[in-house]
Chains A and B, each alone.
Chain A
Amino acid sequence: MAEDMASHYQVMEELGSGSFGTVYKAIDKTTGEIVAVKHIDLESSEDDIQEIQQEISVLATCASAFVTQYKASFLKGHKLWIVMEYLGGGSCLDLLKPGVFNEAHVAIVCQQLLQGLDYLHSEGKIHRDVKAANVLLSNTGKVKLADFGVAAQLVNIKSQRNTFVGTPFWMAPEVIQQSGYDFKADIWSLGITAIEMINGEPPHASTHPMKVLFLIPKNPAPRLEGNDYSATFKDFIAQCLTKDPDHRPSAKELLRHKFIRNAGKTEALQELIHRKQDWDGGRGMNKDVKYYAESLNTITKLPTEEKDDDEDWVFDTVKAPSMWVPKGTDWSTLDEEWEEQDPSQLMEDMHITQPPAPPKHQANSTVRRAKDAERSPSVRRANTKRRSSGVKQPLGLDLSYGNTPSTVRQFRRVSDRVPANNENAQIKPPPGFDENTSPKPLSTDTISKEGQLGRRAYSRAVGLSCQEVLATTGDGEKREAISRLAEAWSDLEMVDPEGLYHIVRIMNERLQADPRLSTLIPTSAQPDSPQRPRLVLAQNNPHLKSHHRRQSSVVEPQPSSPLANLPGQNASGMEHTKQLTDVLYTRWAEGLRNRWGI
């Protein structure tokens, strides 16, 4: 079924890479209509399938002339194809490349965007990532909101959100402060986008995005000043950029603003499109058009289930599972047969141990990420830091995206991406990297035990604590101080994890030595488990995330089990038990206790 769907489209050249995937121009063979097809490689996303579904469901429930129209989605192998309306004019960010917009153009775009936002907001949707890059134009100048990668669907039209998503420069103060926000956040972002269009970049564009997160709530809202701008435009910006969301007008109200009411027709935007085409032409831009080439790994599997037996596991060949009676002799025979094979076969057998690494998709994902990384040294730095652990770090991680026009998604997903950069970061140390660190951290191979513990202490305790405190601190100045501290810890972890370990260790000793402070640290904080160390599996999603996993394991050594002589303990290998066996064993023992009333 899905294969049929894909064959309905003739895929042509690449249009660009958005969040999650590559977008191609394509022709719907049945209607002849030109469409945009987004290819998302699901193999490269750890747990994002449900989030992608969320994006699709937001898109699929939109039907407005001011929002890019969703058409269909289907799977082809492990790629998800999302078919959207094709908009030939490009994004406003593209159109800004030849130069800034004039006020008349900005007014038209804003008027169209406000209608799009009015529609979304009345539907209980918040876009959360309004910026020039996410505003697309059709060839005729129609303006549409695109990229619903972080959009939210509110169950209740009046409810609020807390999630920290968006792109720092465009984020409303209330989003940054995480004190609850609603659809008014999009209005702020629209105001920033208007400034972006008239000036070529958002306010604070030259500032480090981490800093921006403090500046936006702390500083007075940006304003347009001087005689270059009309009074109505200045007022429109001031209205959009009202810091208090309660006093910020809604999309509906802004549609009545004089600046918007006087906006011209969308056809006038064709000037911008032509300007861009001329500009591209002058630079010979059309030469590097990339055409879609079906990579091997998207072609769905050939029927290779019946592989050569050498490679596969040794199972019985009897195809009636319920009738299957295990016989020791059968197995040893099979095993012997296999052992008799040519030793070179054995060697070849090794190659199957490497999971097939699809070259195309790897290249794809790294390119996309590398692009992000190249734009600013800070990005690389944040990424390199985290290579020894996938644990989220205070703010810095999110900011690895902030210096670019890419979007901060929810905190937890960021950690997925970071490791993927490792390779990249290892190969060429970033240019801006050396001034505050030595090259040493790049080779973690020869790290001492203390160093490992230091890393662990950082990833498990220090980094998270900073983040936690930061999250509960509202005051801008305090936040900045905490984040400086967090960054310092992070630097230390990167440069000298051993030193970090010693600091934490000595700190801990001192705390415990002090009679009053020692009460801060309960020594045995595990009242409910007299059992041996065990893996406490997260209830809802035991293997959701690597850091999730790591956080869930308890490591302190504890006295051995009082149930050591019960059955189950005699299974081979129990003397080496750790983690998993312990979970199973603990549960098994609990089961026994319940049943036998021990």
Chain B
Amino acid sequence: MAFFFNRGRSRQPADVARSTKELLLRVQETPNLPKAEEDLAKQLSQMKVIVQGTQEVNTSPDQVHALVQATLQEDLLYDLSRTIHLLPFEARKDTQTIFSHILRFRPSNYAPDKDPPVISYIVHHRPEILVELCRGYSESQSAMPCGVILREALKFDVVAAVLLYDQSKEGEPAVRLSDLKPNLPQKGDGVFWSFFDWIDKSSFEVSADAFTTFREILTRHKNLVTAYLATNYDLFFGQFNDVLVQSDSYVTKRQSIKLLGEILLDRANYNVMMAYVESGDNLKLCMKLLRDDRKMVQYEGFHVFKVFVANPNKSVAVQRILINNRDRLLRFLPKFLEDRTDDDQFTDEKSFLVRQIELLPKEPVERSRPARETQSGVNTAVA
């Protein structure tokens, strides 16, 4: 990190950073101090102007650089991430802007293919910042600004890795990038797993934002997530099925079924998909979705259901359910969402499924490789 400290510092950004720090500490100690909040808001708005300029005034790279240095020196990002919910309205937005710019900041001579310096710094030395940002979802005031910052940070896989693997409790140091243990199954109480709660239990605005971030974590960096899902298959899909797919919230339910389809049909997650479509319970869940009384839920459910039926190597459990419901399905499917006349692919897929179901044997057939029958995890299948 030497480059952060070896330049002649411009006075002004360092001053702003220092007074911001002092005020932040005061606000943390005694919330509801209007004077301190107001002063803090002023400092933050100055910082915002330094990092993003205005429509009329461009930023000065030196000033930005100096501010970034000072911010790291004062450990300001950590304090900001913990304090967002205490800030006034405009100051929360300013904080979001400041954070996003600082995270993306690259000095002029910096290699463009390397992660930005502040990102590297955070994942190696101060991952607590990321965890605190996630905890911003616990308060409605901080949820949206924290969400925006997190999604900015999640453009980098190292950030996703920390969020997936951190298991620190409140007040404990978070996991450093160098200490990740991807092969160790998760206990399910880390920050990533809290997303299920935030999505399920929060108000619409918070829940929807948390879901967007959750989805970003799970879809952006494929290799990382594939390995994670393989190691934590049972825990993850247990929660996903119970909490999200069966959520009482229409939006959570619909979005998560869609996300489930995306995860399963992602090429990278082939083994995860195969494990998922082995399970009779998963199939039952899906078939219930087909009968939901909201058509978009039915529709999203269909795109998961089709994978079960299309799988050429169905487990006995899955075959059994399909065979037992063959007649019902054959009556049900032709009329299923039949007003979707414009959707050729949907119609094609539907008739394909009907054919597949017609062709099911009378009794379930053991597959040639029954080895996976009893395993719910995917690790062994990968090996």
Q: Are A252 and B345 in touch, CB under 8 angstroms?
A: no
A223 in the interface, Cβ–Cβ < 8 Å? no
Q: Count chain A CB atoms within 10 A of each CB in B288, B344, B369 and give the residue with the most.
A: B344
The distance from the CB of B157 to the nearest CB of chain A, in whole angstroms, is: 16
A282 in the interface, Cβ–Cβ < 8 Å? no
| B67-94 contacts to A (CB < 8 Å) | 89-90, 93
| B43-64 contacts to A (CB < 8 Å) | 52-56, 58
Q: Are A580 and B352 in touch, CB under 8 angstroms?
A: yes
Tell which of A50, A78, A349, A585 touches B212, judged by Cβ atoms closer than 8 Å.
A50
Q: Are B55 and A584 in touch, CB under 8 angstroms?
A: no
Interface string of A49-93 (1 = CB under 8 A from B): 110010011001101000000000111011010000000000000
A77 CA / B249 CA spacing, docked (Å): 7
Query: With contacts A571-B367, A578-B352 known, is A354 near B55, CB below 8 A?
Result: no
Interface string of B197-231 (1 = CB under 8 A from A): 00000011100110010000001000000000000
Tell which of B58, B144, B266 touches A539, judged by Cβ atoms closer than 8 Å.
B266
B346 in the interface, Cβ–Cβ < 8 Å? yes
A352 in the interface, Cβ–Cβ < 8 Å? yes
Query: With contacts A574-B312, A576-B355 known, is A43 near B296, CB below 8 A?
Result: yes
Query: With contacts A63-B90, A324-B280, A591-B271 known, is A313 near B328, CB below 8 A?
Result: yes
Of A17-25, A138-146, A230-238, A542-550, the one touching chain B: A542-550
| B289-332 contacts to A (CB < 8 Å) | 291, 293-296, 298, 300, 303, 306-307, 309-314, 316-317, 320-321, 323-325, 328, 331-332
A356 in the interface, Cβ–Cβ < 8 Å? yes
A220 in the interface, Cβ–Cβ < 8 Å? no
Q: Are B332 and A353 in touch, CB under 8 angstroms?
A: yes
Q: Which residues of B sit under 8 angstroms from A343, Cβ to Cβ? A: none
A32 in the interface, Cβ–Cβ < 8 Å? no
| A310-343 contacts to B (CB < 8 Å) | 311-315, 321, 324, 326, 328, 331-332, 334-335
Q: Are B310 and A584 in touch, CB under 8 angstroms?
A: yes
Tell which of A311, A356, A539 touches B267, judged by Cβ atoms closer than 8 Å.
A539
A-B contacts, 15 of them at CB < 8 A, read: A42-B251, A43-B295, A49-B255, A60-B205, A73-B205, A74-B204, A80-B251, A313-B287, A314-B325, A326-B364, A353-B332, A388-B342, A540-B219, A583-B310, A587-B267
Q: Count chain A CB atoms within 10 A of each CB in B56, B311, B312 and give the residue with the most.
A: B312
Q: Are A61 and B93 in touch, CB under 8 angstroms?
A: yes
Q: Are A353 and B321 in touch, CB under 8 angstroms?
A: no
The distance from the CB of A90 to the nearest CB of chain B, in whole angstroms, is: 28
Of B6-14, B16-24, B186-194, B257-265, the one touching chain A: B257-265
Nearest 4 pairs between A and B by C-beta?
A580-B310, A353-B335, A419-B342, A573-B359
Number of interface residues of A (CB under 8 A): 92
Tell which of B250, B303, B349 touches A77, judged by Cβ atoms closer than 8 Å.
B250
Tell which of B307, B331, B360 touches A584, judged by Cβ atoms closer than 8 Å.
B307
A2 CA / B250 CA spacing, docked (Å): 11
Q: Which residues of B sit under 8 angstroms from A332, Cβ to Cβ? A: 324
B39 in the interface, Cβ–Cβ < 8 Å? no
Q: Are A581 and B303 in touch, CB under 8 angstroms?
A: no
Q: Report whether over half of chain B's contact residues are helix, strand or loop; otherwise say mixed.
A: helix
A128 in the interface, Cβ–Cβ < 8 Å? no
| B11-40 contacts to A (CB < 8 Å) | none
List the A residue with the shortest CB-CB distance to B383. A595
- Known contacts A78-B250, A355-B336, A567-B367; 4 further A-B pairs (Cβ under 8 A): A121-B55, A390-B344, A542-B261, A581-B311
A401 in the interface, Cβ–Cβ < 8 Å? no
Q: Which residues of B sit under 8 angstroms from A388, Cβ to Cβ? A: 342
A577 in the interface, Cβ–Cβ < 8 Å? yes
The distance from the CB of B317 to the nearest CB of chain A, in whole angstroms, is: 5
B109 in the interface, Cβ–Cβ < 8 Å? no
Q: Are B144 and A61 in touch, CB under 8 angstroms?
A: yes
Q: Are B281 and A585 in touch, CB under 8 angstroms?
A: no
B361 in the interface, Cβ–Cβ < 8 Å? yes
Q: Are A567 and B369 in touch, CB under 8 angstroms?
A: yes
A573 CA / B258 CA spacing, docked (Å): 28
The distance from the CB of B105 to the nearest CB of chain A, in whole angstroms, is: 12
Q: Are A326 and B320 in touch, CB under 8 angstroms?
A: yes
Count A-B contacts at CB 8 Å.
221
Q: Are A312 and B291 in touch, CB under 8 angstroms?
A: yes
Q: Which residues of B sit under 8 angstroms from A183, Cβ to Cβ? A: 55
The distance from the CB of B378 to the nearest CB of chain A, in whole angstroms, is: 11
Q: Which residues of A sit under 8 angstroms from B349, Cβ to Cβ? A: 579-580
List the B residue with the shortest CB-CB distance to A50. B212
Q: Which residues of A sit under 8 angstroms from B249, Cβ to Cβ? A: 2, 75
Q: Are B355 and A573 in touch, CB under 8 angstroms?
A: yes
A422 in the interface, Cβ–Cβ < 8 Å? yes
The distance from the CB of A19 to the nearest CB of chain B, in whole angstroms, is: 19
Q: Which residues of B sit under 8 angstroms from A328, Cβ to Cβ? A: 320, 363-364
A80 CA / B97 CA spacing, docked (Å): 28
B-side residues, CB < 8 A to A, are: 52-56, 58, 89-90, 93, 97, 100, 144, 152, 203-205, 208-209, 212, 219, 249-251, 254-255, 258, 261-262, 265-267, 270-271, 273-274, 280-281, 284, 287-288, 291, 293-296, 298, 300, 303, 306-307, 309-314, 316-317, 320-321, 323-325, 328, 331-332, 334-339, 341-346, 348-349, 352, 355-356, 359-361, 363-365, 367-369
Interface string of A388-404 (1 = CB under 8 A from B): 11100000000000000
Tell which of B97, B270, B368 touches A587, judged by Cβ atoms closer than 8 Å.
B270
A572 in the interface, Cβ–Cβ < 8 Å? yes
Q: Are A2 and B204 in touch, CB under 8 angstroms?
A: yes
Q: Are A349 and B331 in touch, CB under 8 angstroms?
A: yes
Of A150-158, A166-174, A193-201, A464-472, the one touching chain B: A150-158
A105 in the interface, Cβ–Cβ < 8 Å? no
A78 CA / B54 CA spacing, docked (Å): 41
Query: With contacts A313-B288, A549-B346 known, is A49 near B251, CB below 8 A?
Result: yes
A321 CA / B280 CA spacing, docked (Å): 9
Query: With contacts A75-B204, A314-B324 known, is A572 near B364, CB below 8 A?
Result: no
Q: Are B250 and A158 in touch, CB under 8 angstroms?
A: no
Q: Are A53 and B208 in touch, CB under 8 angstroms?
A: yes
A387 CA / B293 CA spacing, docked (Å): 26
A574 CA / B365 CA spacing, docked (Å): 14
Tell which of A74, A155, A357 touches B100, judged by Cβ atoms closer than 8 Å.
A155
A443 in the interface, Cβ–Cβ < 8 Å? no
A292 CA / B320 CA spacing, docked (Å): 49
The distance from the CB of B283 to the nearest CB of chain A, in whole angstroms, is: 9
A553 CA / B344 CA spacing, docked (Å): 11
Q: Are B312 and A577 in touch, CB under 8 angstroms?
A: yes
A579 CA / B355 CA spacing, docked (Å): 13
The distance from the CB of B54 to the nearest CB of chain A, in whole angstroms, is: 7
A591 CA / B280 CA spacing, docked (Å): 23
Q: Which residues of A sit under 8 angstroms from B359, Cβ to Cβ? A: 572-573, 576
Query: With contacts A57-B144, A328-B363, A422-B342 known, is A537 near B355, CB below 8 A?
Result: no
